[in-house]
């Protein structure tokens, strides 16, 4: 079998044909050179409007287009571009089926690189396939822009809104997910976490699609609450379990570090040192040794421990099935906590009281939302953010998020290279 046959079977480059294939050294590397030729009498296509036009001239220089490597041997298509004389666009370069614009990579190769870039970092892809970081970035970018232009946005019933911090300091992004049973994906990313930011999302989604939303899940960020109430009053608004429990962990952390300092200042032995994770751990995950340590701490009647127990007590809230009983539990818990004299925990109780209605909506959603989805996305997002120290720009970061979490569609190819 000839290489020509293989190339023809994995591509569809009509009306162009493979004229000649040879192996030679390009930039001191053995390379498979595939010379392409336009079929005789085949009129060129205008890259401006896509119409067939009469030819104008042919470029004296041959352009190189990198194709998916074969057995780690680079494959390069060689072709001298023609120019057309288009009645509507004037003199324009022709359109070829294997590449877009000025890219030195074929479309197949771009999708191939973009596919790998979902599995490993962009830096690793560029090292593995001996292309530049920019080539990988541009490949991902075109995959994302194709996917965004071709994705289907109808029938969205539930969304989750979250904020993420990127880069050190206080740079926030607002992210919106679709969290329907059959379709979970990142829908939108926007700079900042202001009311204005979320308004931009609803403008993007449009009035009709917004009116179809039935559930929305978010954390307690005031700007979000305001916009959600205004823009989608028909949707049941649920406060996310993951974010609420995160607030508890933060409060316990504050109590503990203040107490460590206090104990030190009072000259007590450092019994709380190294206990951070012990306190934040779920009780069912504690080892026997850790349980003993907890019991030991209990004797000291420490605020850290008391607030940990308050948190564990609150976990029962989520096991209720009816909003009425959950509400009674919530009220009792808040009353107990308000008497506890632990300021950080009292703050949580006040906040929960303030958001009572939205909290109880969790039970009114009646299992339509699973609590793990937003948390799952949040974890994946953190992973990408960690991997992403190479991104210098906001757009780069956004592109990576859409690429890995957007579940974006891809075009149909003659052959799947990835
Ligand atoms: Zn044209």
Ligand 1 centroid–CA 195 distance in Å is 44
Average pLDDT over residues 192-196: 93
Average pLDDT over residues 152-161: 94
Degrees, nearest 5: CA angle 272-246-223: 135
Neighbours of ion ligand 1 (CB under 5 A): 46, 48-49, 86, 88-89
Q: What is the pLDDT of residue 168?
A: 64
CA distance 256 to 261: 9
Average pLDDT over residues 36-49: 90
Domains of the chain plus CATH, in order, are: 3-98 (no CATH), 158-240+370-405 (3.30.420.10), 252-364 (no CATH)
pLDDT digits (tens, 9 = 90+) for 247-268: 999 999 899 888 888 888 887 7
Ligand 1 centroid–CA 128 distance in Å is 39
CA distance 148 to 189: 12
CA distance 99 to 110: 9
Sign of CA dihedral 226, 227, 230, 232: negative
H-only helix segments in 151-287: 195-205, 207-211, 222-231, 241-265, 276-280
pLDDT digits (tens, 9 = 90+) for 344-402: 999 999 999 999 999 999 988 877 777 678 888 888 888 887 765 566 778 888 999 99
Q: What is the pLDDT of residue 201?
A: 97
Average pLDDT over residues 152-179: 88
Contact yes or no for 145/110 (Cβ under 8 A) = no
Q: Which of 133, 134, 3, 1 is nearest to 67 (CA)?
A: 3
b or e along 90-110 (b: 16 or more beta carbons within 10 Å of the residue's beta carbon)?
eebbbbbebbeeebebbbbbb
Ligand 1 centroid–CA 315 distance in Å is 65
Q: Which of 123, 145, 156, 146 is nearest to 398 (CA)?
A: 145
In the chain, the percentage of residues whose pLDDT exceeds 90 is 61
CA distance 148 to 144: 6
44-53, 65-74, 384-393: the lowest-pLDDT one: 384-393
CA distance 303 to 252: 9
Q: What is the pLDDT of residue 146?
A: 96
For residue 42, pLDDT over 70 is answered with yes
Ligand 1 centroid–CA 86 distance in Å is 5
Ligand 1 centroid–CA 371 distance in Å is 53
Ligand 1 centroid–CA 20 distance in Å is 30
Ligand 1 centroid–CA 15 distance in Å is 18
Average pLDDT over residues 278-296: 81
Contact yes or no for 174/201 (Cβ under 8 A) = yes
pTM equals 0.84
Ligand 1 centroid–CA 17 distance in Å is 23
Ligand 1 centroid–CA 92 distance in Å is 7
Contact yes or no for 7/76 (Cβ under 8 A) = no
CA distance 403 to 303: 45
Q: What is the pLDDT of residue 416?
A: 85
CA distance 279 to 256: 9
For residue 9, pLDDT over 80 is answered with yes
Ligand 1 centroid–CA 158 distance in Å is 44
Ligand 1 centroid–CA 58 distance in Å is 17
């Amino acid at each position: 079998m000839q290489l020509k046959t293989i190339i023809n079977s994995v591509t569809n480059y009509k009306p162009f044909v493979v004229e000649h294939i040879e192996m030679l050294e390009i930039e001191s590397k053995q390379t498979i050179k595939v010379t392409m030729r336009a079929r005789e009498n085949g009129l060129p296509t205008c890259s401006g409007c896509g119409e067939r036009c009469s030819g104008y001239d042919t470029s004296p220089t041959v352009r190189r287009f990198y194709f998916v490597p074969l057995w780690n041997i680079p494959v390069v298509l060689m072709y001298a571009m023609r120019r057309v004389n288009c009645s509507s666009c004037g003199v324009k370069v022709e359109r070829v089926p294997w590449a877009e614009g000025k890219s030195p990579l074929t479309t197949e190769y771009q999708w191939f690189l973009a596919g790998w870039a979902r599995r490993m970092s962009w830096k690793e892809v560029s090292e593995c396939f001996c292309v530049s970081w920019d080539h990988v970035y541009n490949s991902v970018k075109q995959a994302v822009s194709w996917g965004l232009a071709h994705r289907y946005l109808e029938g969205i019933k539930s969304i989750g809104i979250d904020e993420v911090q990127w880069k050190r300091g206080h740079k926030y992004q607002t992210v919106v997910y679709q969290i329907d049973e059959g379709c979970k994906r990142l829908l939108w990313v926007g700079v900042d976490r202001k009311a204005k930011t979320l308004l931009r999302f609803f403008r993007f989604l449009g009035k009709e699609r917004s009116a179809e939303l039935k559930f929305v899940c978010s954390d307690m960020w005031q700007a979000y609450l305001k916009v959600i109430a205004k823009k989608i009053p028909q949707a049941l608004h649920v406060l996310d379990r993951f974010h609420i429990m995160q607030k508890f962990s933060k409060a316990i952390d504050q109590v503990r570090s203040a107490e460590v300092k206090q104990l030190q200042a009072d000259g007590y032995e450092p019994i709380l040192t190294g206990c951070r994770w012990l306190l934040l751990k779920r009780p069912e995950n504690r080892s026997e040794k850790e349980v003993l340590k907890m019991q030991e701490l209990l004797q000291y009647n420490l605020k850290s421990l008391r607030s940990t127990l308050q948190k564990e007590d609150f976990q029962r809230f989520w096991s209720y099935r009816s909003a009425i009983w959950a509400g009674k539990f919530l009220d009792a818990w808040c009353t107990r906590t308000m008497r506890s004299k632990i300021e950080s925990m009292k703050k949580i109780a006040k906040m929960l009281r303030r958001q009572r209605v939205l909290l109880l909506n969790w039970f009114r959603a009646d299992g339509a939302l699973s609590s793990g989805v937003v948390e799952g996305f949040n974890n994946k997002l953190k992973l990408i953010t960690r991997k992403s120290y190479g991104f210098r720009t906001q757009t780069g970061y956004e592109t990576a998020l859409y690429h890995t979490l957007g579940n974006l569609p891809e075009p149909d190819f003659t052959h799947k290279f990835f």
